[in-house]
A and B are shown apart, each in its own frame.
Chain A
Amino acid sequence: MAERAAVRPLGPVGHAGPGGLWWLELRASVRRRRALAIKLLFPLVLAVPLALTGAPQFFAAMLLTVLVAMVGTVGTGVSLTRARGAGWLDRLAVLPLGGWRVGLELFLAGWVVDCLQATLLVLVLEAAQRPDPLTLLSTWLLSLATLAFSGALGLAVATLTDNPGEAMLVLAVVLAPMLFLSGLFTGVPASGPRYWVAQLLPFSYLQNAFQLVLHGNPPYGSDPQFLLAAAVFLLVGAGAAAALGWPLLARGS
C-alpha cells in the first residue's frame, strides 16, 4: 500500500481553484453530514409554519429576516473564532496568501453553505405562496446578499473576539440594534434619520421583499429596487470580507 501511495501523483494545485482554502473548507462542511443536515433543516422549522399558516405578513417577514441575519452572522463568527482557538488561523497567517485572500476564501466557504439554507427557505415560500417569479428571484438574490453582508459582519466580530461564546454575545449586541434600525420590529418611518439608516442596511429590503412574497403590502420596495440592493450588498459583503482578512489574522499576533 505504501508503494502504491508513493507513485500516486499529487500534482500542483493553485489556491484559487479546487484545492484552495474555500474549496477545502466547503468540502469539510459537506462532510460534516449531521451538522449539515441540521443546518439545512433549521430554517425550515421556522419557514414551513410561517409560510403555511397565514401568519401576519409583517411578523412572518420579520422572523424570516432575523433568521437569515442569524444564519449568516453566527455561522461565520463562531466557526472563525473556533478556527483561531484551534490554531488554524495561526497556520494560515504564515502562508504566502494575502490576508484579503484568506478572508475572502473563508467567507466564501461559509456563504455557499448559508446560501443552500436560504435557497431551501425560498423554495418553501415558492411552494406555499406561489409569488410572482420576478419577486421570488429578487427575494432569493436579496437573501443571498443579506447572507453575504451578515457573513462579513460575523467575520468582523471574529476580529474582535477569541471564542465562540464571546462571539455570540458580541453578535447579539451588534445585530439587535441593526435589526431595530432596519425597521424589523416597528416598521421604517417614512422620513428622518431612521429611514435613511434603514436604506443602508440589507435587512429592511429583505423584510419588505419577504412581505411581497407573502402577498403583503410592504411600505416600500419593488423588484428592481430589491435586485439593485442585492447587487450592492453582495459586493459590500465580499469587499468587507476581503478587507477584514488581515485584521482577522492579525488578532492575537
Chain B
Amino acid sequence: MAALALEAEGVLRRYRNGRGVGPVSLRLGNGEVLALLGPNGSGKTTLLRCLATRSRIRGGEVRWFGNPDPARARPRLAVVFDATAHVDEVSGEENLRFFAGARRAPVTPGLLVEAGLAEVGGEQVSNYSYGMRRRLVIAEALVGDPALLVLDEPTLGLDVEGRRWLETVLHERQRRGLSTLLGTNDTSFVEEVATRVGFLVDGRLVADSPLAELLASVGGLREVSLRFRGDVDLERLRAVAGVHQVVASSDGALVLAAQRDGLVADLLGAVGELDRLLIDLSIREPRLAECFLQLTGRPLDG
C-alpha cells in the first residue's frame, strides 16, 4: 500500500507571543485536496510552512511519503508561498527553466501558454503585474509533476481567468494522483477544488471532514445577516426558535438558524424598534463560511 503523501502527528510551532499552530494532526492521501480555512492569525501559513518543509517544528512529527526527512521529500514537493519573488531581471521563461533544472525535470511544453503567459514569457519578470507573477509562481510549482503541492493563498492576485486555469489544473492533476494542501479563505475556490476541508482556530484543527459532509451539515439552515444602528441584545436573538448560532459582527449580527416559516419575522421581532435600529437584512443559503461559523462559533472573516 502506497504511503500517504503527508502525515502530521501533533505538529507544534508556537511563537513567543503564543501565536502559531499546534498541536495539529492531519493526513493527506494521494489524490486528495485538503483546504485549510481559518481567520487571520489562526495559523494557516505557519502550519503550511511546517508541512512544506520550510519551518522547523517544535514538537510532533511530519512524514512525507512515509519518510520524516524533508530533504527526501523536496524532489516530489512543490510549494507556492504568498511571495512572488523571482530573479526579476531575467525572463519568465528563464525563471521557469531554473525551477525545472532545480527539480531535474524538463519544462512541460505549453505550461506558460496554459498559465496565460505565452506572450510575455520572454519578457523580464520585472515588467510583470502582480497577477502575472502569481501565475508564473504557480507554473513553476507545476514543473516536474510534483506528487505533493502546498499552496498558500493560491487565488491571491489571480483574475477570473487565472482562477479558472488553477481550478482546471488542480482537477487534472488530482486525477493523475497529485495531493494538494492549500490554505485560503476563498470559500468559493475551496468548494470548486477541495475534497476535504479543515478548520483552523487559534492554531488548532477543530474540524477535518469531506467537503460534501460539511456542506450537508448546514443543509436546511439559513444565514441571516442583520445590520443595526446602535446596540441590540443578542440574547434576544439567541432565544428565537431554531437559532443555532448568533455572532456579533462589526455593525450587527450573523444568525445561523434552521429554515422555517416565520423565522425572519421572529428575528425582527426580537430586534424590536425596527424603524430606529435596523439598517439592513440579508438571507442566504449557508455554504462553507457558515459551516465554519456553526462549528467554531466564529465568523471566518474574523
Contacts and interface: CB of A to CB of B under 8 A. Distances in A.
B134 to A, nearest CB: 12
B83 A86 contact: yes
Interface string B110-127: 101100001101101000
Contacts of A253: 49, 54-56
Given A2-B118, A12-B104, A15-B101, A96 B74 contact: yes
B99 interface: yes
A20 interface: yes
Contacts of B84: 87
A9 B100 CA distance: 13
A9 B109 contact: yes
A53 B82 CA distance: 54
B174 interface: no
Contact of B98 (A15, A29, A90): A15
Contact of A5 (B79, B88, B104, B113): B113
A209 to B, nearest CB: 35
- Range of interface residues on B (Cβ < 8 Å): 35 or more
Contacts of A83: 85
A45 interface: no
A94 interface: yes
Contacts of B118: 1-2, 5-6
B133 to A, nearest CB: 11
Interface string A71-106: 000000000000100111011011111100000000
B107 A12 contact: yes
B94 interface: yes
A214 B81 CA distance: 53
Contacts of A177: none
Interface string A1-37: 1100111011111110001110011011101100000
B121 A96 contact: no
B106 interface: yes
B56 A28 contact: no
A13 B52 contact: no
Given A5-B113, A6-B109, A253-B56, A91 B81 contact: yes
Nearest to B119: A1
A95 B75 CA distance: 7
A14 B105 CA distance: 9
Contacts of A9: 109
Contact of B112 (A5, A87, A90, A250): A5
Contacts of A15: 98, 101-102, 104
B49 to A, nearest CB: 8
B89 interface: yes
A96 B87 CA distance: 18
Interface string B41-62: 0000000010011111000000
A91 B86 CA distance: 9
Interface string B187-198: 000000000000
Contact of A11 (B71, B90, B107): B107
A24 B83 contact: no
A24 B95 contact: yes
A24 B98 contact: yes
B102 A97 contact: yes
Nearest to B82: A87
Given A6-B118, A90-B81, A94-B77, A24 B87 contact: yes
A83 B85 CA distance: 8
Given A1-B118, A94-B79, A253-B55, A20 B98 contact: yes
A151 to B, nearest CB: 19
Nearest to B98: A24
B158 to A, nearest CB: 18
B103 A96 contact: yes
A2 B54 contact: no
Interface in B27-48: none
Given A6-B118, A94-B54, A95-B102, A31 B81 contact: no
Interface of B: 49, 52-56, 71, 74-75, 77, 79, 81-90, 93-107, 109-110, 112-113, 118-119, 121-122, 124
Interface of A: 1-2, 5-7, 9-15, 19-21, 24-25, 27-29, 31-32, 83, 86-88, 90-91, 93-98, 250, 253
Given A27-B87, A91-B83, 16 more contacts: A5-B112, A5-B119, A5-B121, A5-B122, A6-B109, A12-B106, A86-B83, A87-B82, A94-B52, A94-B53, A94-B54, A94-B79, A96-B74, A96-B103, A96-B104, A253-B49
Closest 10 CB pairs of A and B: A87-B83, A10-B107, A5-B118, A28-B89, A88-B85, A96-B74, A31-B89, A2-B118, A86-B85, A13-B101
